[in-house]
A and B are shown apart, each in its own frame.
Chain A
Amino acid sequence: MALQQAVPQGRGTRSLEGFDGAALRADFPIFDTPAANGERLVYLDSAASAPKPRSVIEALADAYAHHYANVHRGIYALSEDATRRYEEARRRLAAFVGAPSKREIVFVRNATEAINLVAYSWGRANIQAGDLILSTEMEHHANIVPWQQLAIEKGARLEYVDITEDGRLDRDDLARRLARGPKLVAIAHVSNALGTINPVAEITRQAHDAGALVLLDAAQSVPHMPVSFAELGVDFGALSGHKMLGPSGIGALWARRELLDAMPPFLTGGSMISRVTLEGTEWAEVPWKFEAGTPAIAEAQALVAAIDYLEALGMDRVRQHERFLFERAWAALSAIDGLRLLGPSDPDQHAGVISFLVEDIHPHDVATVFDAEGIAVRAGHHCAQPVMLHYDIPATTRASFYLFNAPDDIERLTDAIRAAQRLFAR
């Protein structure tokens, strides 16, 4: 595994970059195939979904080949093995995100499903007509639409905290709206469209003082920086496995135990019950109460391999590495005429996600030129159309970094921007 060579060992050898991202590419088979133009693929779309290291791909195959049977059911060794490994994944993920108990981790498909679970279960039991739900203008649609649906159903009010010109939450506006006594504040840790890192611990204290619970959309933070839900103090946390090197089809909701205990089930059916008669049903204990039907058994096992990979690097180093790439990319892009960069310039408030506009070239055209140069980026509204409305722009081009990116990727990116500008200037 290239991991060993990439991470500087011993004291005093820690580089500014955190580690050598380029060396890690050997661990990711997706880079074995050159881009359509024959050059090395430059992958700058991990905010959408991350490529998988070989160890994760092998763990998925190994789970199906050697550790597979249905969980929580079979009275035979193979099922007990699969169950043990599935529950071990819960324990490992709990530790990875600072959950006090593994019983507080509910496996779902992705962060979207985690937020829907809260909206349907906690929301329908606790939100009433006239209640206020607070979200923000920088949210992914996954943290807006479920609340819109809940508000419509219950006759509740939904408001959005404004954002500043440089893409941070407007704290004065937040304070004003908190004073109106919301029941819930639903907020992203890192904005997928702007890259902004929100000061979650501070906002959570304010929200709690105002009597609100806090749901954290951590889909863009858990893969990229150390995150402890307990230390942040939030009440709910949502994340996706596929953005943190894990397989698609598995994600998690974390919530404080007493909240989960009090919440009614979301999906009902098999394995989430303790007793069923034709007259009625008693629910299983948490978290199994929320895991109806056969779960993502092999994907959970492969998620452990993803956590292993990230922990071997160290999440503080992953963050340091991306901070380094952000600073370099921000400087390099700022030096190009005709570019507009979104989000805060302060590297402490900005994750490894840069959304930008190239003057007179539509983001789709930019992405098509990039594609021809062997560079994968996202162009569009990033499932955050309110952000686009705020800035009165149709879309942006977004480059997002992960642990296998390095300064050579930034060079290819800036070359491609210049190529697009030349093409459209002719």
Chain B
Amino acid sequence: MINVGIDVGAKNIKIVALQDGKIVSKGHVLAGFETKDTSQALYNEVLKKANISPEEVNSITSTGSGRKAADFASNSVTEVTAAAKGATNMFPSARCVIDVGAEEGRTIRCDNDGKIIDFALNEKCAAGAGAFIEAMGRALEISIEDFGKISLQSNQEIPLNAQCAVFAESEVVSLLHSKTEKKDIAKAVNDAVASRITSMARKVGFEKDIILIGGMAKNTGFVAALTKALETDVIIPEDPEYILAYGAALLTGN
């Protein structure tokens, strides 16, 4: 039995193919502007990698803010459902799932059976999402890949007053002008996002185990800032950005 999950995010498209519940192939690509064609191409590629022919596929489930673009899907689920399913299936001990993507963030509280009890969303504001890091990275001339590493080198506590990414960018530039070190500013930026996510986690109420997923889980500086703000550890899956696609694949619609 082959089940495919496709997560069309604001920045990247992720696809996971399962054979009898086990991941046999996966892939991701920048979403760009031709999301429809890009999704289809990635789907073909992921199947090809595992020598699966399209006829063998039993279900294709789409999720993500751009899921409409994957019009070849057989059904679709919300990001909250996909995130909870993916995380709790991988970690049955999960009681709280924190998903921080490029343009959205969500915190979900689950019960012992992986059922969703409550959730909070941010899809309106860059301040609690990867786009915030990206914008500040541009001002700091630090690549998104290096951002976490560089911020970890700092042990300073500089508060970032601005919440809005547009205002924060000016603040970052003035910090640079006043000769604040880049690593300290990078840490302040990660701290700021962590504090936003923590208040979202408080909204739903969190207890262990906490699973952190989404692209931001790869930013080590953010993870450090978040565990400090939450005052507890978080569990990060091996490929945190694939969990929604994985969860979607499990939700076959049958």
A-B interaction? no
